[in-house]
Structure 1
Amino acid sequence: MKHYIYLFTLVCIMMSCKKPYNPPVTTTNYNYLVIEGLINTGQDSTIYKLSRTVPIGSAIANSPESGATVTIENDKSNVYALKEIRKGIYAAGLNLDTTHKYRLRVKTTDGKEYLSDFVQAKDSPTIDSVQYEYTGNAENIYSYTHDPKNNTRYYRWEYQETYLYYSPVPSYYIFKNNSIVPTNADDETQVCYISDTSSTILLNSTAKLVQDVIYKNPITVVPITLDKLKVRYSILVKQYALTADAYNYYQNLKKDTENLGSIFDAQPSAAATNIHCISNPGVPVLGYIAAGSVSQERIFIDRSDFYAASVGVDYSYCGGAVITYKATQRTPYPDIITIGTDIPTDSLVAAPILGSKDSLFTIQYATAACVDCTLKGSNKKPAFWK
């Protein structure tokens, strides 16, 4: 019995010694270059995104690197230039020969030059299928693939999801040029298409298996409580073949960015990159250069493809409100509407005031987020949408 008392006392003492620790967050802007993309040897364009790191807590989430000179070189001294198509985005359709090795060269406006190691192109095998499985409260998305030559072994995936969205409150008005105007064919606000991209690193390997077969590889989970499954949902899955070194790089990156927060997690470490600042070897650069083709597969999921008692976000708070005011008080709408916070949902109704030359206006309105779907997505139907 005494042992239990001693143990209880020891636990109490240990708990009483715990003090919260808030580590200092650095505000230093190291401004490191970040290089993201793939030297695409297939029919698709080679696209690279160049940006700079920003401090934690910065109001700027993205700092694109514009004005750089970006080229692809092969082991036969052939050079292919990429053009800046948007700020920080460099691209070109190259249709490269997969029998050669390739590297990336970047010259930034601050005079620094970055060069990657030569990498061997690895073509991704075809995706066998992308399938979904309804679990009662979500749709689980999986991919299946195999390499009959047993040469791939290391895989990475990305995805882009798009879904059809209807505004909870229909309206025939839109806030434009600091005023409320009736919508026309170009001002669709009730039907939109919202897109999002994967934010986690998806990896898998068959290096320890006899056959190079990926079965039921988890891609994402889509809860039915989201608007994504309310009408129609589509997901485009992209598959990349990696070298062992590239796979290790992404594994370390995943560990350092997704598995932190517990005392039992591995300590963060710098992932070994194959890009170097040759003008100043002491300057770090973030990214990993790989080459090869990409395979992809798109599927659609309709609301009618599965049964769920409730699908989508609760928009009960979107119920419209009503304002009544005299014509001489506001022209042409109350201030609460003209600032763009709210949008009318029906026509103005005017009634004369007995014994007065003034009129009494009644208008129904709802918050703009409940009326105008273009605040969340695009009202232009994507070319791939069936």
Structure 2
Amino acid sequence: MNVSIIKKMTLALFVCVILSGCTEQYVFQNQDFEDAMIVEATLTNELKHHEINISRTRLLNDTIKIAESGANVTVVDSDSNEFHFDEKDGKYISSNEFKIEPNKNYQLKITTKSGKSYISSPETLTTPNTIDLEAKVAEKDGIQGVQINVKSFDPANTSKYYRYEYDETYKVQTVYNTTERVELVPYQNTFKMIIVPAEPNTHICYSTKHSTGIIQTNTKDLTEDRVNFPVRFIDKSNYIIAYRYSILVSQYTQNQSAYDYYNTSKKMIDSGELLSPNQPGYIIGNIKSTSDSSEKVVGFFEVASVSKKRIFFNFNDIFPSDDPTLFFRKCEPEEIQFSVIPMDNYKVLTTHVYIGGGPGMSPTSYWMVEKECGDCTSFSSNVIPSFWEN
């Protein structure tokens, strides 16, 4: 939910972008840059150490996050309980585990190192819901793949607004299972090639990626508060489902103000971050300065119930008649003749792995493949996730 303001816009342009949804591209300039505080805060009904991110706006082309350090950050509920947050690694983490309780109001309070104070509007926990996930064959834009839908139902018809995040984890298996490697060692004022055991466990790995952007839906125009939302589509040829795949989906039930804030942000600029710190405009959130009513604060203090669900599936669970190896990366072995390569070009040892040859075939000829084809630790992790199910 990182957010920022990079410049002032004229009222006419602001109205055009926000209200009429105009689609013509506008090239924004970094003129009239306005420094503002950015607040990322979503507190839920999970018992955990909650996290709040506070930073500053940056210029359009800047990529380095500017953290707001040294702030005093607390959350106060309507029973006068205070939850303190400690600064750690550029974030603010609650000192103790806690969870948002129903039928209470919560407010975020921030005092910066310079003495400026900010407060959010009181926020109340939204309706808790349970969710289910479904993975099925589907077609999108003429491409066949697997569609993952999230389903939920609120019989009281009180939820209506939803935001989603997901973590997907998939098994990686290299085409070649390498057990040996080539090593260059000193020998009689020069170097020679030797074959030594390879690092263990480089054939199977696991990669995890977090969703990007703002993913939302609502049921406000439906007769029932029933969700059947396509949260993720994966092309059948995408390598991430070639072996075993898992997705953990989080559904945040939002109030209308939070939903509108995120939805407007998405319309303004669709970026890889939840709420872009480089967005070309300002959206009024629920956090304000207590000393300067004209000061702009970017972000939204959200209190939301969250429901999570994880599923696993193999490629053949979804496509039982297809061969996933058809979608594998083609790994062509290369015969490397080290005797004809200048010594300063032996960098091939950092980009390729050994699969055969050398002693017994030719002392200077080795069969090798690119690292990604024989060593998954070059781009993934060989540590099995604690939640993994085979």
- Range class of TM-score, shorter chain: 0.7 to 0.9
The one of 352, 364, 369 equivalent to 1:366 is: 369
Q: Give the deviation of 1:162 after TM superposition.
A: 0.9
CA root-mean-square deviation: 3.5
Amino acid at match of 1:170: N
Amino acid at match of 2:387: F
The one of 156, 159, 162 equivalent to 1:155 is: 162
Q: 1:287 to 1:363 in 2, by over 3 A?
A: same
CA distances 1:218-263 after superposition (whole Å, capped 9, x unpaired): 101111121111001111111111111111111111211239xxxx
- Aligned residue for 2:189? none
- Aligned residue for 1:230? 242
CA distances 1:141-190 after superposition (whole Å, capped 9, x unpaired): 111111122221222111111111112343235799x99974344xx322
- Aligned residue for 2:8? none
In 1, the alpha carbon distance for the partners of 2:33 and 2:197 equals 47
In 2, the alpha carbon distance for the partners of 1:171 and 1:87 equals 40
Amino acid at match of 1:373: C
- Aligned residue for 1:213? 226
Instruction: Give structure 1 stretches of 5+ with no counterpart.
Output: 1-20, 260-266, 353-359
Instruction: Give structure 2 stretches of 5+ with no counterpart.
Output: 1-24, 187-194, 272-278
SS in 1 for 2:260: helix
- Aligned residue for 1:193? 206
Instruction: Confirm or deny that 1:88 pairs with 2:91.
Output: yes
Q: Give the deviation of 1:97 after TM superposition.
A: 2.8
In 2, the alpha carbon distance for the partners of 1:291 and 1:258 equals 23
Larger relative contact order (C-alpha < 8 A, sep ≥ 6)? 2
- Aligned residue for 2:379? 376
The one of 140, 143, 161 equivalent to 2:150 is: 143
- Aligned residue for 1:335? 346
In 2, the alpha carbon distance for the partners of 1:228 and 1:269 equals 37
In 2, the alpha carbon distance for the partners of 1:80 and 1:147 equals 30
The TM-score, its normalising length taken from structure 2, stands at: 0.75
- Aligned residue for 1:303? 315
Q: 1:89 to 1:133 in 2, by over 3 A?
A: farther
Amino acid at match of 2:177: P
Q: Any residues of structure 2 matched to 1:110-121 within 5 Å, and which?
A: 111-121=115-125
- Aligned residue for 1:75? 78
Q: 1:102 to 1:369 in 2, by over 3 A?
A: same
Q: 1:114 to 1:174 in 2, by over 3 A?
A: farther
- Aligned residue for 1:47? 51
Range that drifts further, 374-383 or 23-32: 23-32
Amino acid at match of 2:198: T
Q: 1:192 to 1:65 in 2, by over 3 A?
A: farther
Instruction: Tell whether the 8 Å contact from 2:28 to 2:280 is kept in structure 1 after alignment.
Output: no
In 1, the alpha carbon distance for the partners of 2:249 and 2:325 equals 24
Q: Give the deviation of 1:365 after TM superposition.
A: 2.4
CA distances 1:307-333 after superposition (whole Å, capped 9, x unpaired): 2455675522x3222222349975xx9
Amino acid at match of 2:165: E
In 1, the alpha carbon distance for the partners of 2:327 and 2:114 equals 47
- Aligned residue for 2:198? 183
The one of 315, 324, 332 equivalent to 2:329 is: 315
SS in 2 for 1:149: coil
Larger radius of gyration: 1
- Aligned residue for 2:191? none
SS in 2 for 1:165: strand
Instruction: Confirm or deny that 1:106 pairs with 2:110.
Output: yes
In 2, the alpha carbon distance for the partners of 1:378 and 1:348 equals 29
Instruction: Confirm or deny that 1:167 pairs with 2:174.
Output: yes
Instruction: Tell whether the 8 Å contact from 2:75 to 2:84 is kept in structure 1 after alignment.
Output: yes
Q: 1:245 to 1:325 in 2, by over 3 A?
A: closer
Instruction: Confirm or deny that 1:203 pairs with 2:206.
Output: no
Q: Any residues of structure 2 matched to 1:51-66 within 5 Å, and which?
A: 51-58=55-62, 60=63, 62-66=65-69
Q: 1:22 to 1:271 in 2, by over 3 A?
A: closer
Q: How many residue pairs were aligned?
A: 342
Amino acid at match of 1:254: K
In 2, the alpha carbon distance for the partners of 1:99 and 1:181 equals 65
SS in 2 for 1:106: strand
The one of 261, 271, 277 equivalent to 2:283 is: 271
Q: Give the deviation of 1:346 after TM superposition.
A: 4.0
Amino acid at match of 2:159: T
In 2, the alpha carbon distance for the partners of 1:328 and 1:270 equals 58
The TM-score, its normalising length taken from structure 1, stands at: 0.76
The one of 298, 303, 306 equivalent to 1:286 is: 298
In 2, the alpha carbon distance for the partners of 1:255 and 1:175 equals 53
Q: Give the deviation of 1:361 after TM superposition.
A: 2.4
Range that drifts further, 83-92 or 290-299: 83-92
Q: 1:184 to 1:373 in 2, by over 3 A?
A: closer
Instruction: Tell whether the 8 Å contact from 1:350 to 1:362 is kept in structure 2 after alignment.
Output: no
